[in-house]
Structure 1
Amino acid sequence: MRMMRMILLLTESVLVSYQSNSTVQCEKFRGKTVRVRAGESLYFPCPNTDCYEYTEDRSYDWLRNLSRMKQLERIGTEESERVHYHKSVLYILRLTLDDTGRYITRWYEEDNCDEYETDIVVYEEFNTDLLYYTVPEEKATTISCPVCEKQTGRFIWYKNFSLIPNQEFKNVLRIRNSSKESEGIYTCVCTWEHNGLKHNTSGHRRLIIKDQSRTNPPVFQIPVNNSIVTTDVGTELILVCSVVFVCDECCVRWERNKTTLNEEDGYKQENRIKDGNVQSFLNITKVSELDLLSEFRCKTEDSYRVIFVSITLRSRASMLPVILACICTFLLVLVLSGIVKWFSLDLVLFLREIFIKFSRKEDRKLYDAYVIYQRNNSDETTSKTVSDFVNGSLLTVLESYCGFKLFIHGRDDLPGEDCMNLIETKIQLSRRLIIILTPGTSSISPTAYDLQVGLHQALVQGETGVIVIQLGQMQDYTHLPLGLQHLLCKNNPLLWRDGQTSPTSRFWKRVRYRMPVASSHQRRSSKKRPLECQSLPV
């Protein structure tokens, strides 16, 4: 028997002298006072919201210092014990008066330790001190149960200790058409289960219906409720709350996740009052990832009510996607512009083939172009080049493939006709003039009659368009007539090189672009042309 007593004394000594096995210095926070009734049970979570919610990779110690004890006592984790804890929740089953004392929660997170102190007072019977804080209402609509906020249970409601029927399983009591008769003490009894046994916890609120003529409610100027503020992790942030009061005793404070913020947590609050307008500033020294997951509330209360607005923080969106989108858009526009520029000639020719030639009015012109070239050239090489081009590529592409009707001397004139009269008539019946230039000092004689008539028709009367085709390179154009030099200053000549015989080449597309639409006579005879001339690829 004596041996057993010694073992009990040693065990008690170890428990009394117990301090946390961690060597980390804990940062202390003073908590609230919890008042409960004997015979009931208490489900008490860690008083800090983060301490209660974020339990992964965290460890806890619960200790108590009862009024009859001089040193701390460690609370165990065995569910068979009347007083035990599980992670961030303390269980005191079937409360007794001896359970009155100070309870300490130590929350370990890596190298940090936070310590929260809470005073628990057990009353033998109902006492007005058990009433939870209530706010006078002008017209109350609901009363929430002050217990079992973070656990599941069955609820029963009483008014002035008389049962209110048909209110089971509801943690909020709805009051319809509230008036002065609705005043009284409302009690909710929460029944919850733990380790196979049922336990009761009660909470009491006093409802006071205030005179509506007493005061006006506070009005928030900024911020708007449920507003979002963008910020960056690790930066300093100041939140501003402005409230208009019409009362003498009013206060404004900031909360995070329904928990009052303390300056030692890295948050600093400052209030400024001027002409009934209260401005409250919350300075967040360093925005953390946890802040982005939290709800900040600016809470104001006067003698009768509590009102708040909520703010959430959101990480500022990265500018990288926007920059990449702008770069991609710019490159796309650049590529499309290049494609449009390269194929613009083809597009114009394609659309002209579809629309213009079906809507063009007849102008009584007989020829699409009158060809002017040096017919008598002392240079055999130049003469052969001109002859091969005019009688070869020019006729093959423009007439055979594209359906244009050309007038060419030596082919379309009749023997014995008056040459001058013929030239004037044929140029007047032509829509374009095609002037062929060749290298040399006498490519086209300045006194050539058809050139003089054509330039007069184009420059003076403005009735005929001119297309200048250059065969080979030329150093300058000073040897050409002044009228022709003027035309060359306005439009560069089209340079033809040997081998450009395909109607789909760039050179012939540019010629077609300056030519009119093929005459109706040629369109009616298009069945005689090869397939390529009927639908020239673009």
Structure 2
Amino acid sequence: MTMMMMMMRIILLLSESVLVSYQSNSTVQCELGNRKSVRVRAGESLYFPCPSVECYESTEGYAYDWWRNLSRTNQTERIGTAESERVHYHQSVLYILWLTLDDTGLYITRWWYEKDKCDEYETDIVVYEAFHTDLLYSPMVEEKAIAIYCPVCENQQAAFLWYKNFSLIPNQESKRLPIRNSSKESEGIYTCVCTWEHNGLKHNTSGHRRLIIKAQSVNNPPVFQLPVNNSVVITDVGTELILVCSVFFVCDECPVLWQRNKTTLREDDGYKQENRAIDGSVQSLLYITKVSELDLVSEFRCRTKDSYRVMFVSVTLKSRASTHAVILACICTFLLVLVLSGTVKWFSLDLVLFLREIPIKFNRKEDGKLYDAYVIYQRNSDETTSKTVSDFVNGSLLTVLERYCGYKLFIHGRDDLPGEDCMNLIETKIQLSRRLIIILTPGTSSISPEAYDLQVGIHQALVQGETGVIVIQLGQIRDYTHLPLGLQHLLRKNNPLLWRDGQSSPTSRFWKTVRYRMPVASSHQKSSEKYHLKV
């Protein structure tokens, strides 16, 4: 009987050898899986299953092929199946008994799940002579540790011993090591040594893991991300609606739920709640099948609690129809503001001019000025231009500003005396004036040298900054480059006022703008002619 069993075993080994030989000579390219790494100690034994769970568990009807490339030789060799060898494999499990440093290398597993299809797995096995921190499995970082599980011998029948910081823990012979009342004193390196049997001989395999007890986190209250408290949701009666409540938690077991008027909502009444976790937050979705009139007069609360208190945010529903009046009121208000703004802008000149008529506004301190404006215009020009300027200065300008508005103007040829020193007179009169009125015409190609008053006036306005300037343009002028640079600068700061025929009325937009730029008249004894002018 024993002889027959030995013969059957020899036949099985021979058949596996033939199959392996066929597989190794095959030109089939296996599909490569993820590469792994295993670290072990010399003197122990390694029970190493195929890295893929499916490859390890599904052995019936499949073939396996194991290879290794040792670091010391850098040559690839096939691993045998003879259990008498120290390194051998049996189907999906590789055995390396009594590990040595020379066992360090790359181990290759080929799993033939069909005649011409296979998967290949590569594993780096590193053997250490003594304990090294590289042998540690991933650490356990816990606020409160309950137990540690042995990281080796997962699929083996074995006996277990536990060590803490390499000192034996008595009476602990299970795969699971309980940790009671974990604290900082519980921290350390825990070693699990499992003893397993192969071919009647016992072998040891150890696994090391560090336990770290982290400080317990402060119990921060939940934070509502959605919705905003006392928010309003616009909807219609009879429509379906989804209310979303998102709460950021530190607590993993704190509940989030919706209520209506402080009562729990039931699915039979057309309400359904669904919770889901997303990136540290809990979302509670309330599905309202059909919004009712009662919902529109109710308060919906998203409610949660932590260890200390209950918190909630409130949401109310409003019918879309009820918002029409609000929207209409907002539109009307906006239009009214728009009209008022336009009206104020249009009549701002009239408002300022009206306020100047109030007597209290006339009580101002004397500034030592004698004239309200000094009029500068080109006196030496062609006949047409001279007539245009003369008609404007002696006609509309004097009529409106002096007779109608009561301003006091200084005009050459009218207010100077024969024989006076012209230059000294100009400087003195400009210094005694509050404004400069500069009149430009299209025919003005340059300022004549005798226009000394323009040079003095520009200097007074730009350098000393004591006198305001009003530029009146008689007709269209497309280019100002022929004018003095100082005057060009003044034109960039204040656009000139364009005079057109038909603006003789003191109430025209042109003269209102001129009056707006003029100071309050120093003389308010208006001529009776004011009342005979056309409005």
TM-score using structure 2 length: 0.43
